[in-house]
Structure 1
Amino acid sequence: MAMPQEGYSWVDVESYVADQTSGLHGKIHIRPVAGGAFLTDLRVECSKRMSSDYPVGTRFRIWAKLTDREGGGQFLYTSWRWRFEVLSRPDARAE
């Protein structure tokens, strides 16, 4: 069931390596950043480029909305076609 009452807003997210990948596509995923409007355990459906073309820990700003699937939980959705802004990349010298 969609959530038509929810509107789109700017959301800051980041890439991370998922501990549990059962039922998920790949090891690197996107989640809301800590301290934002959404909990960090919320999944984000977005462009695969965000997890494949940038290093883990990169932060992005996306135009997204909270939605859900019938029989599933809530998640943030943004079209894979929409532009996203790169806010920061992890410092490679810190490794």
Structure 2
Amino acid sequence: MALHGNYKEIIVESFRPASTGGKHGPVHVRPIPGQPFPPSLFVECADRLKREYPVGTRFKIRVKLTDKEGGGQYLYSYFGWPVEVLK
């Protein structure tokens, strides 16, 4: 369920976490430092960002803070939305 506010445009990057802690796949996406959301939040987004680009690539996407029942907070971006590849 969405927690608050509208979608925001932020810059995120793909990375390999030290531990996936039950998450799927070896590559994940997080906000870069200095954004409205901390880098500790994971981003649920289009899988192609993790598959088709090298780890460390940055993207500009729209996200919204949300959570899962019985779980923690994360950022969500609809997989069909346009993505700007920054590096």
Please give the TM-score of this superposition, normalised by the length of structure 1: 0.86
Aligned CA-pair RMSD: 1.1
The answer for the alignment partner of 1:20 in structure 2 is: 19
Secondary structure at the counterpart of residue 51 of structure 1: helix
Gaps of 5+ in 1: 89-95
Secondary structure at the counterpart of residue 36 of structure 1: coil
Question: Does the 8 Å CA contact 2:3/2:65 hold for their aligned counterparts?
Answer: no
Gaps of 5+ in 2: none
Q: 1:54 to 1:69 in 2, by over 3 A?
A: same
Between the two proteins, the alignment pairs up a number of residues equal to 87
The answer for the alignment partner of 2:57 in structure 1 is: 58
The answer for the alignment partner of 2:39 in structure 1 is: 40
Q: 1:37 to 1:19 in 2, by over 3 A?
A: same
CA distance in structure 1 between the aligned counterparts of 2:68 and 2:77, rounded to whole angstroms: 14
Percent same amino acid at aligned positions? Answer: 47
CA distance in structure 1 between the aligned counterparts of 2:8 and 2:34, rounded to whole angstroms: 16
The answer for the alignment partner of 1:29 in structure 2 is: 28
The answer for the alignment partner of 1:92 in structure 2 is: none
**Structure 2 residue 81 is the aligned partner of structure 1 residue 82:** yes
Q: Post-superposition shift, 1:4?
A: 5.3
